[in-house]
């Protein structure tokens, strides 16, 4: 089948594209290669996808004219592209234009694809708010511009299911870690601090925060499981993540153990909107997708350390 992957040069999008190629699908990826973090890292991710046979185009979803460059014969669309995370350097306009306007433009393009089986929106546990431990039918309470705009994007997509104009679902991902994790994220920064003998900036109070740290491969298992299940997942929101919880401090300690290296901690002011607890409730994912994440925190960190050492040491 022919599949479009947006945000293909990113952390999770690149892994998804590779898995789809491995499964025998034709993959067209698009990315705007923004400088939110180092473009050379995105180029490295993109090369991994292209080396597996994927085709990648530099396109920006915020420009409604992007669809003139693409064909309209896609079977599936996997929408990873977004302004990610909680960042003081990102304005509300950054989140709105990338997450809301970009998604709306992609929906308009999706509706041109008459053979489209399913539009798969990639959501986030940040939609739930400061504590993300509930099933999908709980009222969301996002506490950041990121969470608010990702909720808006999700609802724009699901609106088309409710209108009967296309089949769609939204997958809310929990604390994804592993090879290619973005450079500003916790584990990449921890590994870099340990290997380079620099300090790790720890947000005040966050050592006790609880997270469903989920290996990227386990996340992709759930993402690609929607293929062929468009009737059962249509209009659904589905959590993907591990039920295992670990504190930030446990994560720090595990990286130290894997590296055999003490990590110096530098306390920095707390980050507004940071989640206090995430614990993926995956009952629906088990039922609809036969979803079963298996990677332990240590195994995930070992894989990420191996990737980092192979590429940056």
Residue 57 carries which DSSP code? E
Q: What sign does the dihedral 102-107-109-115 (CA atoms) show?
A: positive
Check residue 273 and give its pLDDT: 65
Distance from C-alpha of 236 to C-alpha of 92, rounded to nearest angstrom: 27
List Cβ neighbours of 111 (8 Å cut-off, separation of 6 or more). Answer: 160, 165, 166
pTM of the model: 0.95
Starting from the edge strand earliest in sequence, which strands make up the sheet with 131-132, in order? Answer: 131-132, 277-278, 210-211, 246-247
**215: exposed, middle or buried (C-beta count within 10 Å: 0-12, 13-18, 19+)?**
buried
Per-residue confidence in pLDDT tens, the chain, 313 aa: 999 999 999 999 999 999 999 999 999 999 999 998 899 999 999 999 999 999 999 999 999 999 899 999 999 999 999 998 776 778 999 999 999 999 999 999 999 999 999 999 999 999 999 989 999 999 999 999 999 999 999 999 999 999 999 999 999 999 999 999 999 999 999 999 999 999 988 888 778 888 999 999 999 999 999 999 999 999 999 999 999 999 999 999 999 999 999 999 888 887 676 777 888 999 999 999 999 999 999 999 999 999 999 999 7
What are the residue boundaries of the structural domains of the chain, listed by start?
2-173+215-242+282-289, 186-209+244-280+297-312
Q: Which CATH architecture is the domain 186-209+244-280+297-312 placed in?
A: Alpha-Beta Complex (3.90)
Residue 135's nearest CA partner among 274, 239, 21, 246 is: 239
Residue 17, CB-side half-sphere exposure with 13 Å CA sphere: 31
Q: Where does 2-173+215-242+282-289 sit in CATH, by number? A: 3.40.50.720
Check residue 90 and give its pLDDT: 83
């Amino acid at each position: 089948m022919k599949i479009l992957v947006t945000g293909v040069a990113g952390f999770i999008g690149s892994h998804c594209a590779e898995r789809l190629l491995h499964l025998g699908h034709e993959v067209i990826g698009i990315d705007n290669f923004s400088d939110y973090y180092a473009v050379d890292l995105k180029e490295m991710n993109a090369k991994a996808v292209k080396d597996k046979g994927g085709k990648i185009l530099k396109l920006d979803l915020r420009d409604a004219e992007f669809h003139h460059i693409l064909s309209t014969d896609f079977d599936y669309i996997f929408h990873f592209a977004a302004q990610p995370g909680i960042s003081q350097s990102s304005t509300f306009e950054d989140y709105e234009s990338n997450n809301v306007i970009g998604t709306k433009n992609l929906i308009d393009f999706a509706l041109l694809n008459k053979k489209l089986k399913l539009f798969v929106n990639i959501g986030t546990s940040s939609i739930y708010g400061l504590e993300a431990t509930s099933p999908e039918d709980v009222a969301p309470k996002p506490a950041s511009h990121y969470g608010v705009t990702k909720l808006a994007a999700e609802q724009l997509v699901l609106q088309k299911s409710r209108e009967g104009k296309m089949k769609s679902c939204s997958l809310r991902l929990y604390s994804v870690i592993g090879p290619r994790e973005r450079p500003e994220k916790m584990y990449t920064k921890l590994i870099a601090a340990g290997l380079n003998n620099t300090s790790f900036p720890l947000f005040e109070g966050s050592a006790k925060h609880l997270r469903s740290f989920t290996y990227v491969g386990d996340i992709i298992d759930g993402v690609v499981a929607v293929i062929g299940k468009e009737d059962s997942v249509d209009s659904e929101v589905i959590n993907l993540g591990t039920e295992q919880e670990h504190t930030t401090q446990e994560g720090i300690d595990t990286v130290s153990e894997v590296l055999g290296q003490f990590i110096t901690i530098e306390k920095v002011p707390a980050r507004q909107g940071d989640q206090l607890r995430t614990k993926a409730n995956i009952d629906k994912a088990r039922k609809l997708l036969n979803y079963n994440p298996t990677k332990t925190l240590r195994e995930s960190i070992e894989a990420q350390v191996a990737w980092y050492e192979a590429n940056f040491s």
